[in-house]
Amino acid sequence: MGNPQKSELGDKIAIVTGAASGIGWNVAMALARKGAKVVLSDLNEKDGRAIEAETGGLFVRADLSRRADCAGLVDEAMRRFGKVDILVNNAGFQHVSPIERFSEDMWNQMISVMLTAPFLLTRYVWPSMKAQGRGRIVNVASIHGLVASPCKPAYITAKHGLLGFTKAAALEGGAHGITVNAICPAYVRTPLVDNQIADQAKSLGIPAEDVISKVMLGPAAIKHLIEPGEVAEMVLYLCSDAARSVTGASWTIDLGWTSQ
């Protein structure tokens, strides 16, 4: 896929949000293995510190629903390293509930973390990327940025919005060597999905294996959960020089989910 050689990211500073778990953890590890210095951010300080030690990066605790924390994260990266080359907007969470029971607080929280924070972080890293004439922004969206499922109104809205923002930012970044892309995975084997499997097994009254095979993989052509490392490989490609002409795109890793 033209992934970067170790030396290619050797001088790069990357911010990865939601890096204490799942996809973010795998992305941070993959970038670090290619030589990037990774600024890891998450709400979860304990696991964040563990990956800080593992990658030799820098952990910055941030609650990305707070504008001040978004600004503080980029400020800290700039203070320590003087620039940002790569931003991976990955932090997110799920809440499953029908519209009439969906709380306004939960709506606001989901939009803040999964739509407003990627906008704010992009805005804050933009001057550094523009000054260097090169930048890579990767937004971890979802198949739920492309299609809907029941009982996830805020998640689906945030992810659809994130794809719109990806295109808008790509248009503005083109003149400055900044590419902006989104990745749209179907179900990836992470703690976020483990929790959903348990919740759905309980609410539907069926075994966890049936939730995976009949509910989550029902519309999929390939019948397995995606591994988080597969998403990390795509992030590496999008951060590489080989992807210099790729921008404004939504990359599905969806087992054929959205092909029908």
Ligand X SMILES: NC(=O)c1ccc[n+]([C@@H]2O[C@H](COP(=O)([O-])OP(=O)(O)OC[C@H]3O[C@@H](n4cnc5c(N)ncnc54)[C@H](O)[C@@H]3O)[C@@H](O)[C@H]2O)c1
Counting residues that bind ligand X (by CB under 6 A) gives 28
User: Least distance (Å) from ligand X to the CB of residue 63?
Assistant: 5
Q: Give the footprint of ligand X on residues 27-56 (CB under 6 A).
A: 42-44
Chain centre to alpha carbon of residue 197: 20
Minimum CB separation from ligand X for residue 182, in Å?
A: 10
Residue 114: phi, psi to the nearest 5? -100, -10
What Cα–Cα distance (Å) separates residue 4 from each residue in 59, 86, 96, 160, 243? 24, 13, 38, 29, 10
- x-or-dash string of contact with ligand X, 137-166, rule CB under 6 A: ---x-x------------------------
Output the DSSP codes for 73-103.
HHHHHHHHHS---EEEE---------GGG--
- Is the dihedral angle over the CA atoms 80, 82, 87, 89 positive or is it negative? positive
Q: Which range of residues in 78-86, 88-96, 124-132, 204-212 is near ligand X by CB under 6 A? A: 88-96
Residue tagged 């992009």 (tokens): 122
Which of the stretches 31-39, 76-84, 85-93, 237-245 binds ligand X when contact is defined by CB under 6 A?
85-93
Contacts of 246 (CB under 8 A, 6+ apart): 179, 181, 238
| By the rule CB under 6 A, 107 interacts with ligand X | no
Selected from 4, 18, 57, 135, the binder of ligand X by CB under 6 A is 18
Q: Residues 58, 71, 93, 227: which binds ligand X (CB under 6 A)?
A: 93
Nearer to ligand X, 26 or 240 (CB): 26
The yes-or-no answer on residue 155 being catalytic is yes
Give the contact letters, 190-229, x = binds to ligand X (CB under 6 A), - = no: xxxx------------------------------------
Q: How many CB atoms lie within 10 A of CB 150?
A: 9
Nearer Cβ to ligand X (65/122): 65
- Identify any residues that bridge with 44 across adjacent strands, giving them in sequence order: none
Q: Which is nearer to ligand X, 50 or 192 (CB)?
A: 192
Residue with tokens 């030589």: 35
Contact 154, 106 (CB under 8 A): yes
Residues of the shown chain interacting with ligand X in the complex, contacts defined by CB under 6 A: 18, 20-24, 42-44, 62-65, 90-93, 113-114, 140, 142, 185, 187-188, 190-193
**Enzyme catalytic residues:** 155
